[in-house]
């Protein structure tokens, strides 16, 4: 009987507590302790719905021993790590455009689950880069390229110039305002240099390697003439790549953007108006300058007969990986990475190369979360290939992003749930919500009935297509960048320098230090 009374007392206490909790008043807006105590779905207006049930992803994951052993093993690995203070013969910088921490955290699920790691997440050293520019809290890809390649923070929309406001034609042409990237520092030290991207090769990020312009859209002469007049004497980005001080010395150049190099009268999709075919200019510079437009042509090259390589695989940006097909004959980022390292490794003095997974950013801008996540996985594959082809003893690999996006990865999904699916809860309007969503973007009207002032069921609109849009809270024609810090991952000589929190413009200085490049402090001095 005593046991029965004890059980009755416990049941009464539980019911009383439940009644009290349900009757709790709403939290005041600034009462952080109150809100913190109610983070569980039951206190957020969410209710359980049918969905994927919890499942243990790894054997013994539900035991304390599993997690205790895991923690001890991590400490052991860190204790056994020795500082690599060799001189970096080679430096490879990987840039995931728009790859904020939320992006690569969510993308792990495509590898089999949230407990997986992308290749670069296994690097021994990690830091955080602050991405604001001179005039904006939230940056663009042009000013950030000037920071992480040239070592100088700049005005938004400008590339390779310091203290110049966007579209300032006069100051753009003033050479005293030009700042040079680490690619030039490497060339001055006798190394080779290159640039690879899945965007147009004249786009903001890759242009940071070799160009100096006050407007990122000056990719061809027609754009310059439109803003500055036909007699401005400002060289457009494509022209600077072929004839510029740095661009003309790059050994490997691969990406999209053929249209920026050819006059519209010479090529149906060309955008130039100066009568030039810059691709022909490049080929005429040397008989050993190879030019390719397909993966087949790239694979057929005999590198022993080539001094420089230019590959333009699309008129504009390269196709999203999920949307490639046999007829496109387009190399993947991994394939371009392998070919580039093979080509540059012939130089005894070493090399610097900038490799961009550029279409992560484009997927996010359109709220195509599925495309953005897949591009992130492809980016990870390219980095893994670079690690396989190089030696950690003499090659520094740095992986980072230029900025983040407004992607949210949230909602109390059960383990094993599809990252592109909905959690096992409904919102307070009794409709499902997605694990991935955006703070703003063009998909607002897709998921919200403005006439009836109600949210639509997103699970009926997201069907598994590559171009499924994901929900956005605020209507904008293009989803925006985020201003949060981005991660920096490093492996190889002096990789330990990349820990802590630092401004983005510090990155090339640390790479130069490790590789003993001129124009700053070096490990050699």
463-513 pLDDT tens trace: 999 999 999 999 999 999 999 999 999 999 999 999 999 999 999 999 999
Q: What is the pLDDT of residues 131-185, one digit of tens each?
A: 999 999 999 999 999 999 999 999 999 999 999 999 999 999 999 999 999 999 9
Query: Which residues, given as ranges, of the chain have pLDDT below 50?
Result: 1-2, 4, 7-26, 28-44, 50-54
What are the structural domain ranges in the chain? 92-402+486-515, 408-475
Predicted local distance difference test score (pLDDT) of residue 271: 98
Predicted local distance difference test score (pLDDT) of residue 59: 80
Predicted local distance difference test score (pLDDT) of residue 179: 98
Buried residues in 467-496 as b, exposed as e (16+ CB within 10 A): ebbbbbeeebeebbbbbbbbbbbbbbbbbb
Query: Which DSSP helix (H) or strand (E) runs through 127?
Result: strand 125-130
CATH number of 92-402+486-515, picked from 2.60.40.10, 3.10.105.10, 3.40.462.40, 3.40.720.10: 3.40.720.10
Predicted local distance difference test score (pLDDT) of residue 48: 54
Q: What is the pLDDT of residues 50-78, one digit of tens each?
A: 444 445 567 888 899 999 999 999 999 99
- What phi, psi does 10 have (nearest 5°)? -60, -45
| 3-class SS letters over 398-416 | EEECCCEECEEECCCCCCC
Question: Active-site residue numbers?
Answer: 141
pTM of the model: 0.90
DSSP conformation class of 277: B
**What is the rounded distance in angstroms from the CA atom of residue 176 to the CA atom of residue 156?**
19
Predicted local distance difference test score (pLDDT) of residue 33: 44
Strands 436-441 and 407-409: antiparallel
| 3-class SS letters over 485-501 | CEEEEEECCCHHHHCEE
Q: Which residue has the tokens 């690619």?
A: 183
DSSP conformation class of 336: H
Residue pair 135/157 in contact (Cβ under 8 Å)? The answer is no
Both tokens of residue 304? 């022993």
| 3-class SS letters over 363-432 | HHHCCCHHHHHHHHHHHHHHHHHHHHHCCCCCEEEEEECCCEECEEECCCCCCCCCCCCCCCEECCCCCE
**What is the rounded distance in angstroms from the CA atom of residue 434 to the CA atom of residue 418?**
10
Predicted local distance difference test score (pLDDT) of residue 262: 98
Predicted local distance difference test score (pLDDT) of residue 55: 55
Predicted local distance difference test score (pLDDT) of residue 192: 98
Helices (H), 99-160: 101-107, 141-150
């Amino acid at each position: 009987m005593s046991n029965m009374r004890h059980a009755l007392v416990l049941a009464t206490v539980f019911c009383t507590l439940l009644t009290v909790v349900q009757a709790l008043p709403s939290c005041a807006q600034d009462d952080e302790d109150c809100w913190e105590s109610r983070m569980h779905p039951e206190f957020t207006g969410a209710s359980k719905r049918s969905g994927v049930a919890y499942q243990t992803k790894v054997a013994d994951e539900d035991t304390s021993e599993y997690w205790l052993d895991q923690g001890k093993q991590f400490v052991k690995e860190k204790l056994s790590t020795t500082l690599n203070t060799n001189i970096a013969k080679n430096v490879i910088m990987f840039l995931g455009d728009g790859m904020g921490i939320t992006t690569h955290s969510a993308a792990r699920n495509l590898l089999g689950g949230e407990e997986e790691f992308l290749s670069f997440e296994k690097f021994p050293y990690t830091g955080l880069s602050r991405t604001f520019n001179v005039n904006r809290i939230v940056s663009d890809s042009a000013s950030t390229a000037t920071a992480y390649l040239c070592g100088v923070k700049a005005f938004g929309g400008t590339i390779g110039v310091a203290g110049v406001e966007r579209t300032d034609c006069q100051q753009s042409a003033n050479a005293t305002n030009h700042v040079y990237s680490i690619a030039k520092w490497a060339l001055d030290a006798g190394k080779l240099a290159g640039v690879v991207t899945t965007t147009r090769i004249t786009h903001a990020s890759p242009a940071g390697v070799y160009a100096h312009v006050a407007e990122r859209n000056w990719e061809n002469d027609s754009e310059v003439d439109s803003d500055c007049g036909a007699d401005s004497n400002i060289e457009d980005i494509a022209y600077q790549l072929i004839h510029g001080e740095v661009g003309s010395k790059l050994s490997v150049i691969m990406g999209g953007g053929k249209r920026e190099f050819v006059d519209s009268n010479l090529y149906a999709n060309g955008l130039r108006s100066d009568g030039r075919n810059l691709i022909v200019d490049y080929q005429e510079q040397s008989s050993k300058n190879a030019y390719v437009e397909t993966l087949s042509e790239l694979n057929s090259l005999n590198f022993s007969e080539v001094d420089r390589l230019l590959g333009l695989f699309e008129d504009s940006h390269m196709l999203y990986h999920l949307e490639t097909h046999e007829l496109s004959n387009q190399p993947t980022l991994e394939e371009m990475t392998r070919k580039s390292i093979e080509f540059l490794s012939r130089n005894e003095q070493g090399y610097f190369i900038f490799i961009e997974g550029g279409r992560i950013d484009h997927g996010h801008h359109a709220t195509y979360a599925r495309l953005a996540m897949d591009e992130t996985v492809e980016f990870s594959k390219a980095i893994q290939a670079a690690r396989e082809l190089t030696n950690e003893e003499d090659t520094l690999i740095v992986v980072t992003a230029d900025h983040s996006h407004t992607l949210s990865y949230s909602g109390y999904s059960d383990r094993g749930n599809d990252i592109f699916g909905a959690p096992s809860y409904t919102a307070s309007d009794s409709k499902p919500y997605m694990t991935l969503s955006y703070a703003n973007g063009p998909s607002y009207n897709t998921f919200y009935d403005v006439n009836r002032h109600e949210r639509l069921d997103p699970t009926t609109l997201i069907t598994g297509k590559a171009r499924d849009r994901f929900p956005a809270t605020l209507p904008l024609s293009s989803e925006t960048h985020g201003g949060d810090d981005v991660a920096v991952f490093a492996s190889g000589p002096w990789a330990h320098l990349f820990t802590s929190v630092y401004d983005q413009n510090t990155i090339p200085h640390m790479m130069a230090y490790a590789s003993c490049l001129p124009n700053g402090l070096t490990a050699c001095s």
